[in-house]
Amino acid sequence: MPPHEQSRCYSDIVVPEDVVKVKKSQGKLKRHHPHSHLRMLFLLLMSLVITSVITICCMMERLRLESSLHSVLNGLLNADLIHSHDGFIFADMDRHHKKSLRPLDIECKLLGTLYMHLAARQSHDLMEILRGAHVIVQNDNGFYYSHFQNLSSNIHFRFSSHYSIVQQYAIPQGPLLDTILLGITHDNSSWFQFEGAAWDPFTRPMDSLIHVLNYFEYTFRRVQIGPLGTSIHTDQSPLVIPFRSFNNIKQD
């Protein structure tokens, strides 16, 4: 076995030299930076502690959002759904809902409409929507883009990283749903998505900071970050919902 013999010969000669070198450099280190190892260890420990704290906080936040999401779904399943004259469906969930999570009127209107008209009573789609999925309503000729603008007079122009052939709008919601963003795809279908934290650095600096953190998470994990969780449906892999006109829905 010549290679084995060779390597043994090699190590027999070389290792002592290496050891001498290492010993020399250790001696140097000890003389010039006596605490550098301790400092390194401290920094390592600190970063480990900080990473763990952030990870635990993120996990607790996820659990909190997941439980809020289920609470909203339960509220919606038991809510009275009231058709209003403007085409929205108001989900009256006050009597069934935990007080801390009680949605505002605008959120009740949006939740009822999403549940009945868009998710067609499918809780899976609704959950993805509330987790911030990028949703396209296929071939609606911009209907939902206009329809959702009727939700509120508190609506403003927005720029975002998403594509739209028209001006994008953001409509602020309550503490539960935060903000909905609206636009139209190149084939004239409406798109919308909920945002986890609004971009409004002057009036809501803390939310805007979270928005930036969300953006980094979106970039690294390739997930969409919504008000009640995260969704795999980014604008690269949107949740596509077929458009059903209101007449069809009433017949259902």
Q: To the nearest whole angstrom, how small is the minimum distance from the Cβ of residue 159 to ligand NAG?
A: 22
175 binds ligand NAG (CB under 6 A): no
Q: To the nearest whole angstrom, how small is the minimum distance from the Cβ of residue 110 to ligand NAG?
A: 13
SS3 114: helix
Alpha-carbon span 237 to 232, nearest angstrom: 8
Q: Which amino acid is at 59?
A: M
Contact by Cβ (8 Å): 130, 177: yes
* Closer to ligand NAG by Cβ: residue 68 or 185: 185
H/E run at residue 197: none
167 binds ligand NAG (CB under 6 A): no
Contact segment (CB under 6 A) with ligand NAG among 38-46, 56-64, 138-146, 210-218 equals 138-146
* Closer to ligand NAG by Cβ: residue 160 or 188: 188
- Of 47, 52, 146, 219, the residue at the interface with ligand NAG (CB under 6 A) is 146
Contact by Cβ (8 Å): 86, 149: no
SS3 63: helix
* Closer to ligand NAG by Cβ: residue 147 or 158: 147
SS3 83: strand
* Closer to ligand NAG by Cβ: residue 161 or 247: 247
H/E run at residue 120: none
Per-residue binding string, ligand NAG, 35-74, x by CB under 6 A, is: ----------------------------------------
DSSP per residue, 18-48: HHHHHHHHHHHHHHH-TTHHHHHHHHHHHHH
* Closer to ligand NAG by Cβ: residue 142 or 174: 142
* 135-138, strands of its sheet edge to edge: 156-158, 168-172, 179-184, 190-195, 135-138, 239-242
141 binds ligand NAG (CB under 6 A): yes
Q: To the nearest whole angstrom, how small is the minimum distance from the Cβ of residue 109 to ligand NAG?
A: 12
87 binds ligand NAG (CB under 6 A): yes
Positions touching ligand NAG (CB under 6 A) are 87, 141-143, 146-147, 150, 188
